[in-house]
Structure 1
């Protein structure tokens, strides 16, 4: 992938910018916003930011040398911002948080494994440990094992540089290591990481465990956080918080943020019926023909399998499906209703109750509080507007 003409920012950054803006890369609204946001930032701060083109190329070549794949445009684009962009004044990272949300099968685990390999071995920062965290051991091991297998394929050449077990991979020269942890790992208290990767953050109901891990950052320079995920079914959890923060960053509502939000999703649920729009949710689909074939098969199954539709829309298209017969109200309306709170009952014990037959009928919810010796019941009745049609 060689540029023609002058390079304004970087070969891989310019390529991605140009192809998104021209429509050659079919991108989500959020990715288009990101391109505009990044261009403005790079232009406004051009005298403050240093782009290390050699480091970017070194990272890409190293990854492609040892991993069984070549990086595709979106991966090279993100790599440039991860490894090659610092502020001239203090050498700090322009972006130190990366939120990557894309459809299942896009290769985000393989990509994050490749970046982990670079960070512990080619970055040349001593004791720059990388921790991969997930809510299950199986998921936490996914990217770790990708690195392990890449090393295994070249072990005769690399055994003098690395040490490895099925729990830890270490680079001898920098004394940096890669480990994986489950969400409730007891060993996390002694962490001194340079980078923490949270895998499938849609499974986190809140930020509490994430805070425990990130509180260990700052002991080595150039700390990074990665949040990689598809969408999920937990509403109001950590993922929704990240999506809201990303929206505010892209809209310019948060100044000085170092969050890089790369959100791939359909702009509208109806776009699922247009195969040419699937690239919005999965930026790798044009490079993975077997993935495209599997997704087409799943799409056809949606017609007669309700569970397949929910899974496909949520995990493949990053549009959580909402069925009128499953929900009392759409999530946006539920979220809006929470703005009306009862401050007098803050921290009081509460029993919640709901009584409804189906969403085509009345639905009643109630909150039962005890405050001192008095008892209170807050009740509300809903009528689904669709039942009036």
Structure 2
């Protein structure tokens, strides 16, 4: 396996340069994210494989296309390249993903669903594991279908990818790798038979109650037989008390503050620091 040093993590350097040039203004949690990633690499807790990162970024930019708002190839901005490189390029000594739980909180109208769909299509068509199950989860099927539908639209815009798969009644199936992509309205008691490789938890900040936390735990625990699983919890900056957000956010901040012993959770919290402004559309 080829690994590189922190200095060769070019997508991190590109992102930091854009910040220094004033293209992006980061809140405290993303500043801590960068420091956390740098510390993990400098202390040897994880390694960076530039070939893995490059493969995923090139796939997104050459094989994925916008499906709403604009047309053309999905060209990533530097903050998106940084996220992709962290998810797929940061590995352990055996070459497996170091971070298996990814939490992304981002402002409204920043293309969250399209970005998640591009990640999902990339996983479905570039990961080596056979028999992958990719799930889009939400409390209601209508919400679960949002990223699922965008993923299918993105696949449909790629002639090669669409020929390899088939839309069935309740999922999209890729016969060559025995891979299925499905939307799922959650019910943890009915999820014990699943064997997810990738789970996308959309708008998790609006997931209410104990059932929401149970669903998260059930899906993660069901991945025990997977060699390189990945989970993405994504949402805009908002929350409902007593739900999944209350479970994940303290874990995320503890990791970034260095007060947690967790090693497989990586939060990307693109949030304004003043929570009183979360309801201000101009701020988000």
Fold shared, TM-score > 0.5 on shorter chain:
yes
Is the aligned partner of 1:198 residue 2:201? yes
Counterpart Cα distance in 2 of 1:269 and 1:133: 26
Say if 1:21 and 1:236 are closer, same or farther in 2 by CA, change over 3 A. Answer: farther
Q: How many residues align?
A: 269
Say if 1:95 and 1:316 are closer, same or farther in 2 by CA, change over 3 A. Answer: farther
Superposed CA offset, 1:141-177 (max 9, x none)? 111111111222233x334422223631222322122
Q: Which residue of 43, 57, 62 corresponds with 1:60?
A: 57
Say if 1:244 and 1:185 are closer, same or farther in 2 by CA, change over 3 A. Answer: closer
Say if 1:63 and 1:105 are closer, same or farther in 2 by CA, change over 3 A. Answer: same
* Structure having the higher Rg: 1
Say if 1:209 and 1:256 are closer, same or farther in 2 by CA, change over 3 A. Answer: closer
Counterpart Cα distance in 2 of 1:218 and 1:20: 38
- The higher relative CO (CA closer than 8 Å, separation ≥ 6) is in 2
Residue aligning to 2:69: none
Residue aligning to 2:70: none
4+ long deviations beyond 6 Å: none
SS at match of 2:25: coil
Say if 1:317 and 1:236 are closer, same or farther in 2 by CA, change over 3 A. Answer: farther
Say if 1:17 and 1:166 are closer, same or farther in 2 by CA, change over 3 A. Answer: farther
Counterpart Cα distance in 1 of 2:135 and 2:275: 35
Residue aligning to 2:24: 25
Is the aligned partner of 1:82 residue 2:87? yes
Measured after TM superposition, the shift of residue 26 of structure 1 is 0.4
Counterpart Cα distance in 1 of 2:259 and 2:178: 40
User: Do 2:137 and 2:200's aligned partners in 1 also have CA atoms closer than 8 Å?
Assistant: yes
Counterpart Cα distance in 1 of 2:23 and 2:125: 35
Superposed CA offset, 1:263-322 (max 9, x none)? 11212268x6xxxxxxxxxxxxxxxxxxxxxxxxxxxxxxxxxxxxx8x43x7756xxxx
Say if 1:233 and 1:117 are closer, same or farther in 2 by CA, change over 3 A. Answer: closer
Counterpart Cα distance in 2 of 1:316 and 1:94: 36
User: Do 1:103 and 1:316's aligned partners in 2 also have CA atoms closer than 8 Å?
Assistant: no
User: Do 1:265 and 1:317's aligned partners in 2 also have CA atoms closer than 8 Å?
Assistant: no
Query: Which deviates further from its counterpart, 60-69 or 174-183?
Result: 60-69
Is the aligned partner of 1:51 residue 2:48? yes
Counterpart Cα distance in 1 of 2:204 and 2:146: 14
SS at match of 1:190: coil
**Two-structure CA RMSD over aligned residues (Å):** 2.5
* Aligned ranges 1:183-262 → 2 under 5 Å: 183-184=186-187, 188-204=191-207, 205-206=209-210, 207-262=213-268
Residue aligning to 1:177: 180
Counterpart Cα distance in 2 of 1:66 and 1:75: 14
* Aligned ranges 1:1-389 → 2 under 5 Å: 8-20=7-19, 23-45=22-44, 49-64=46-61, 65-68=63-66, 69-88=74-93, 90-155=94-159, 157-165=160-168, 167-184=170-187, 188-204=191-207, 205-206=209-210, 207-268=213-274, 312-313=279-280, 317=283
Provide TM-score, normalisation by structure 1: 0.63
Provide TM-score, normalisation by structure 2: 0.85
SS at match of 2:177: coil
Segments of structure 1 that go 5 or more residues without pairing to the other structure are 1-5, 273-309, 319-389
Say if 1:7 and 1:198 are closer, same or farther in 2 by CA, change over 3 A. Answer: closer
Say if 1:239 and 1:317 are closer, same or farther in 2 by CA, change over 3 A. Answer: farther
